[in-house]
Amino acid sequence: MGYGKNLKNLLDEKGMTVMELARRTGIAPTTFYSITQHNAAIRFDTALRISNVLDIPINPSARTIPTRTWKRCQNFPPIKSG
């Protein structure tokens, strides 16, 4: 299932329109129309806003991203204890 289909299903489940989601997230409606109509990829920051507004974990809105494409960041400094 693609991003657009996922988002459409989530909006239907929550009884929300694209315009309402755009208003509540502060993201242009054209972004959501692009996602839902053209199956455009969802940026992480957009997925985070969607998850906050729809009160869902972030993974359902982007569940089709294969985890094998994620890269582990090794540039973080070590955590200091104490």
Q: Tens digits of per-residue pLDDT, 16-35?
A: 999 999 999 999 999 999 98
| Tokens (6 digits) for 31 | 């972004």
3-66 belongs to which CATH class? Answer: mainly alpha
Predicted TM-score (pTM) of this structure:
0.67
Q: Kindly report, residue by residue over 39-80, the tens digit of the pLDDT.
A: 888 888 888 898 889 888 876 445 444 444 444 444 444 545
Question: Which sequence spans correspond to the domains of the chain?
Answer: 3-66
pLDDT at 1: 57
pLDDT at 67: 41
| Tokens (6 digits) for 28 | 């242009």
pLDDT value at 9 more than 50:
yes
Chain-centroid distance, C-alpha 29: 14
